[in-house]
Amino acid sequence: MKIRHALAALVFLPAGAFAQVAPNLGTTAPYAVLGLNAIPTIGTVTCTDTGPGVGIFGQVGTTFPGGITNTGCLITGPIVAPVPAGVVADFNTAFAAIDAGNPVCTGVIPIVTTVLPPGVYCSVAATTIGAGVTLTLNGTASDVWIFRVGTGGLGALTLTNAQVVMAGGASACNVYWKTAQAATVTDSSFVGTVLSGAAATMTRGSWLGRAIATTDVTLTDPAPFTGCAAALAGAPGVNGIPTLSEWSLVLLAVLLAFAAFATMRRPSRSSR
């Protein structure tokens, strides 16, 4: 009886007891690039290919009709302009949910080469990840990484000639960056969904995830920018990784532990 009670207690613990909480992106999830500028100007999303770039694998959205300026970029997904009002509302909900669902920071966002297990990593102000730095996010396909930049109220994220890479079967689409101000990625290999409190900018390099900004998204020679939906659908050069939910893995681990315990408790035939 005590074993059953302990098992039930483990199964019904809140998800936050086991891992950090990914935000619910709602209707923003299908987008690779999404610009939500509150001012109706052309260029809410701008993509420019000067020759070496590839473009965007995935869906692009802007707040206004004609809100995308495309100069030579390949865009494989649909363009939605304007996006429904619910998309903006879902972004605002997800933006707030990152802090509300992950109030405790388990570490500081590193700016030197290191391996990071799943967790919530924070910086009070701006974070700059410079040349030669590689952050390796090592975990399983269901593990989640949360990065909160500017927990003090102000703070931008800047990567220049740096890399953020996945290891151990982890999924780039389970990585979330919330920035109080702009996110700027230059000549870097980057992963994750950025929910930017200002603009998002990518210049050259590669990005697997989503760029969602409260103002403009600007891409120059993206080589390529691959959205999560496109990655899971098998965009060129990208291997989609099916994932188990966090609860599935927790329940499986508990059941295996219970089975092992029961086996150890069962008397052998020779002892009867």
> What's the DSSP call for residue 209?
E
SS3 236: coil
Query: In this structure, which amino acid lies at residue 116?
Result: L
Mean pLDDT of 88-101: 97
Distance CA 60, CA 34 (A): 6
CA distance 255 to 75: 46
List pLDDT tens digits, range 33-81: 999 998 887 789 999 999 887 999 999 999 999 899 999 999 999 999 9
Amino acid 11: pLDDT:
39
- The tens digit of pLDDT for each residue in 186-221 reads 999 999 999 999 999 999 999 999 999 999 999 999
Q: Determine the pLDDT at residue 41.
A: 78
> Would you state the pLDDT for residue 232?
74
Percent with pLDDT over 90 in the chain: 73
More confident residue, 266 or 12: 266
Tell me how far apart the alpha carbons of residues 217 and 194 are, in angstroms, rounded to a whole number.
Answer: 11
- Other Cβ atoms closer than 10 A to 123: 22
User: Max alpha carbon distance in the chain (Å)?
Assistant: 83
Q: pLDDT, tens digit, for every residue of 217-262?
A: 999 999 999 999 988 776 554 443 333 333 333 444 444 455 445 5
According to the model, what pLDDT value does residue 237 have? 45
At 19 the pLDDT is 67
**pTM of structure:** 0.81
Q: Give the model confidence (pLDDT) of 7-16 as tens digits.
A: 444 334 343 3
CA distance 150 to 251: 35
As a whole number, the mean pLDDT across the chain is 85
